[in-house]
Structures are given as C-alpha cells and as structure tokens.
Amino acid sequence: MSGLGGLNKSPNGVVLGMVQLQLPNVVTKQDLAAQTQVIVDMVGKARRNMASMDLVVFPEYALHGLSMDTNPDIMCTLDGPEVGAFKQACVDNDIWGCFSIMELNPGGMPYNSGLVIDNTGELKLYYRKLHPWVPVEPWEPGDLGIPVIDGPKGCKLALIICHDGMFPEMARECAYKGAEIMIRTAGYTAPIRESWKFTNQSNAFCNLMVTANVCMCGSDGTFDSMGEGMIVNFDGTILAHGTSGRPNEIITAEVRPDLVREARIHWGVENNIYQFGHRGYVAVKGGARDCPYTYMSDLVAGTYRLPWEDAVVHVDGTSCGFPAPTRAYGEKAVKDAAE
C-alpha cells in the first residue's frame, strides 16, 4: 500500500516524507539562523526528491538540538523569523510542512511546540507538547490540548511530540477527535529504539489510525539520535522504516485515509476505538457506556494518585541539573489574567 514509497501515487493517497535530520548543536542566534536555513533547504530537497510528496515532517528539536538550553535569545515566537522562513519554504516548494520550535514563554519555561504549515504558508496546526520527557526536559507542560485539522488532500491530521506517544491516551484522543493520520516527532536516542517501534505500531492498531513518526539522526558530539523514521498503517503494519541511521535521509510512503475511514466504519473485530465506548454490545443494546476506569475518574476529580506514589524517587528535574520548581501549574495564567 506504500505505493513504492509514494512513487506510484493513487488518487486517494497522501504521500508523507519523514526527515531523519542531522542533529545540530545550536548555542547562539547565528547558530539558530544557520539551522533555520538548513531546514529550509531540506524542504526544497524533499520536493525535489519526490514530486508527489504532500507533507514533509521534521523531527522534534530539528531547530534547537538536544542541549535543553532555555536561553531566551534562541527561543522562537510564532511571528519570528524562523517560523516566517518555514512558511516561505512551504510556499516556494508548494508543500505542507511540519516543524518544531522551542517557544518563548515570558514568565515561565519555554514550550516545546509543533507547527503544521500548508502550501500557501498558512499556519494550520499549533500544538504544545503535553508530556515533556521528565526529568530530562525543562519545558512547560502544554496547555492547548490536541488539535485535529483538515490536512493535505482533506485528511484529518493530528500532531503529538515524542514522549507524548508513550501514553496510549494521547493517540486515543487524536483518534477520538477524528484524526486519520497522527504525526509523532521526536529526538529520541538509541535506548528508546524498541519502545519507539512498538508504541508507534500499537498507537496505530489500537485506534485504526496511520502513525507517521520520525526522530533526529546522527551525533552532535554529545548525543546520538537514532532516526528511525517509521510510517505505520492503521492495522499496525509498518509501511516504511528508516533502519540505516543515515542523517538527512527522507523516509517516504503513501498512506490512504480513505481506507482508514472504511475500516472504522466496517470493521467488527478489533474496531477498538469504537468498542472502547460500547463495551459488550452483543450482550446489551449499544454496549455499556459507563466509565469503569478509576484512573480516569480520579484524574478528572484532581485526585490521581498511585498506590506507590510516596515511594517515587524522581518527582522534579534536580537529577538532571534543573532547580526544583516552586510555581504550580496554572499560576502564571492566573497572574496574567489578573493583570
């Protein structure tokens, strides 16, 4: 179904290009500008590489690298020159693009944000990572939920970032809101390789949803990212997988959102996204529609607590060199509202 990586594009196909971008080392504004140009040039390479490509996807940390540097001088804004350059690249190459920025957040830690820009240069999707990879990452927890948009060729498109994909609730939320393709961008290194693979597959199969996933690639002299571009069909089958670890390789495949829609309507066995909310519909009309999951009701009530909660060792970022926070989630928003 991959259409030989998208070379043979069907009328209903969406061709995805996952860029295993070389891991950069960005310290200064000049470094940031230079890496912005690298990404712009790679958008052009993607278009030249495959004329049928609809969406080119860059990994998390494509612009800033893995240093976790929160220096305000190299943070980005939606109206800044970096995002402006990405928009122009999409226009110049008549292609949709997915990009990663570390977003300035005055009065708080930066957000780890993902953007999808269409081929006219319009920002169509704006997402802030809900689950930073603690205790390693210092980013502010996202506050925008998970948007789902009309993507290229009318597909329903969602974006999550890296560690988000380790929580099955994230993929389920994307599918519940209608996503047919879920992008997962990441900066992961080799120790996560196996869990990366099976979560990409389970996120697809459990939700009858295509997942399109890619990490940074290569070394910055300290860290080694693994690439592992992976496009997974809605039945959990891997359509394309970048196993060479070659930086700047673009992993491509054609996916079929129309077949996702068909499966969600016609599958009986393993139509899990439907059956989750209609338990045992053979025995009882419409199935049970209750919520039997304690962790869900406790989370909504603000009382989520594990049986081993008091024994958990890592509960802040001090083990990774970050000071323990004193500001509770939401305090900044309350302060801003008061002003």
| Active-site hit among 162, 174, 215, 217 | 162
- Tokens of residue 128, six digits: 């802030």
CA distance 132 to 148: 20
Active site residue 162: yes
Pair 179, 124: CB distance under 8 Å = no
Cβ of 198: how many Cβ atoms within 10 Å? 10
Active site residue 60: yes
CA distance 135 to 133: 6
Which H/E stretch holds residue 34? Answer: helix 29-49
Going from the C-alpha of 275 to that of each of 13, 176, 203, the distances in angstroms are: 27, 12, 16
The pair phi, psi for residue 286, each rounded to 5°, is 75, -5
Residues 6+ apart with CB under 8 A from 282: none
Helix, strand, or coil (residue 201): helix
Pair 16, 231: CB distance under 8 Å = yes
CA distance 109 to 328: 12
Burial class (CB in 10 A: 0-12, 13-18, 19+), 190: middle
Burial class (CB in 10 A: 0-12, 13-18, 19+), 57: buried
Helix, strand, or coil (residue 183): strand
| Active-site hit among 76, 103, 129, 156 | 129
Give catalytic residue positions.
60, 129, 162
